Structure 1
Amino acid sequence: MLALAAAKKWHLKQLDVNTAFLHGDLDKEVYMKIPLGLPVSQPGLVCKLQKSLYRLKQTSRQWNIKLTQTLVDAGYKQFFYDHSLFIKKQSESFTAILVYVDDLVLTGNDIGEINSIKQDLDDKFKIKDLGDLKYFLGMEVARSNSGIHIYQRNQKLSKESGTILTDNTVYRQLIGRLLYLTNTRPDISYAVGRLSQFLDCATTSYLHADFRVLRYLKGRPATGLFFSSTSNLHLTGFADADWATCANSRRSVSGYCFMLGNSLISWKSKKQTTVAKSSAEAEYRSLAVATCEASWLSFLMDFIGLPLQKSITLLCDNQSAIHIANNLIFHERNKHIEVDCHIVREKHLSGLIHLMPVRSKDQLADFLTKALSPGPFLANVSKLGLLDLHNSSLREGVT
Structure 2
Amino acid sequence: MGLNKYLDSGMQERKYCLELLNDFGLLGCKPIATPLDINLTIKPNSSKSKPLENISVYHKLIGKFIYLTLTRSDISYAVQCLSQFMHAPMVEHFQLGLRVLRYLKNSPGKGLHIQSCKSLSLKAFVDSDWARCLRTRRSITGYSVFLGNTLISWKSKKQSTVAKSSAEAEYRALATVTCEIIWLLNLLKDLGLGNHMLPVSVCSDSSSALQIAANPVFHE
User: How high is the sequence identity, in percent, across the aligned residues?
Assistant: 47
Contact in 1 for aligned 2:128/2:141 (Cα 8 Å) = yes
Unaligned runs of 5+ in 1: 2-131, 135-140, 336-399
**Alpha-carbon distance in structure 2 between the residues aligned to 1:258 and 1:287:** 12
**1: CA distance, partners of 2:98 / 2:24:** 6
Q: Secondary structure at the match of 1:208?
A: helix
> Residues 145-187 of structure 1, C-alpha deviation per residue, up to 9 Å, x if partnerless?
xxx8696231121134349x63101000000000000000000
RMSD of Structure 2 on Structure 1 (CA): 2.4
Q: Which residue of 2 aligns with 1:215?
A: 102
How far 1:307 sits from its partner (Å)? 2.4
Q: TM-score, normalised by structure 2?
A: 0.80
The alignment status of 1:283 with 2:146, answered yes or no, reads: no
Query: Which residue does the alignment assign to 2:42?
Result: none
SS of the residue 2:6 aligns to: strand
In the alignment, structure 1 residue 271 sits paired with structure 2 residue 171: no
The gaps in structure 2 that reach 5 residues or longer are 27-51
The structure-2 alpha-carbon separation of the partners of 1:328 and 1:246, relative to structure 1 and needing over 3 Å to count, comes to closer
Q: Distance in 1 between matches of 2:148 and 2:141?
A: 23
- Residues 1-12 of structure 1 correspond to what in structure 2 (within 5 A)? none
Counterpart selection for 2:217 from 310, 329, 347:
329
Where does residue 258 of structure 1 map in the other structure?
Answer: 145
Q: Which residue of 2 aligns with 1:394?
A: none
Matches of 2:112 and 2:125 in 1, distance apart? 18
TM-score (structure 1 length as normaliser): 0.45
1:143 shift after superposition: 5.7
- Corresponding position of 1:154: 17
1:303 aligns with: 190
Mapping 1:306-317, distance limit 5 Å? 306-309=193-196, 310-317=198-205
Residues 218-272 of structure 1: CA deviation (Å, up to 9, x unaligned) = 1211110001123631110011100000011000000111111111010011000
2:156 partner letter: S
Q: Aligned to 2:56, what secondary structure does the other structure show?
A: helix
Cα distance in 2, alignment partners of residues 204 and 231 from structure 1 = 50
The 1-side partners of 2:11 and 2:128 are apart by: 28
Which residue identity lines up with residue 21 of structure 2 in the other structure?
Answer: S
Deviation beyond 3 Å, 4+ runs, structure 1: 148-151
What's the CA shift string for 1:336-381, capped at 9, x where partnerless? Answer: xxxxxxxxxxxxxxxxxxxxxxxxxxxxxxxxxxxxxxxxxxxxxx
Q: Which has the higher helix share?
A: 2
CA distance, structure 1, for counterparts of residue 147 and residue 167 of structure 2: 27
Aligned equivalents of 1:229, 1:330: Cα separation in 2: 43
Q: 1: distance between equivalents of 2:97 and 2:83? A: 10
Give yes or no for the alignment of 1:199 onto 2:86. yes
Distance in 2, matches of 1:223 and 1:294, equals: 26
Q: Is the 1:231–1:262 Cα contact (8 Å) retained in structure 2?
A: no
Quick one: distance in 2 between partners of 1:243 and 1:280? Answer: 9
Amino acid corresponding to residue 172 of structure 1 in structure 2: H
Q: What is the alpha-carbon distance in structure 2 between the residues aligned to residue 150 and residue 227 of structure 1?
A: 16
Q: Is the 8 A contact 1:151 1:225 kept in 2?
A: no
CA offset digits 1:185-223 (Å, max 9, x no partner): 000000011000011121111111111100110121111
TM-superposed CA distance for 1:326, in Å, is 1.1
Corresponding residue to 2:117 among 218, 223, 230: 230
Letter in 1 for 2:170: E
Quick one: which amino acid aligns to residue 319 of structure 1? S
Cross-structure match for 1:113: none
Q: 1:289: Cα distance to partner? A: 0.5
Alignment map for 1:67-216 (pairs within 5 Å)? 141-142=5-6, 152=13, 153-162=16-25, 166-216=53-103
- Partner Cα separation in structure 2 for residue 226 and residue 170 of structure 1: 31
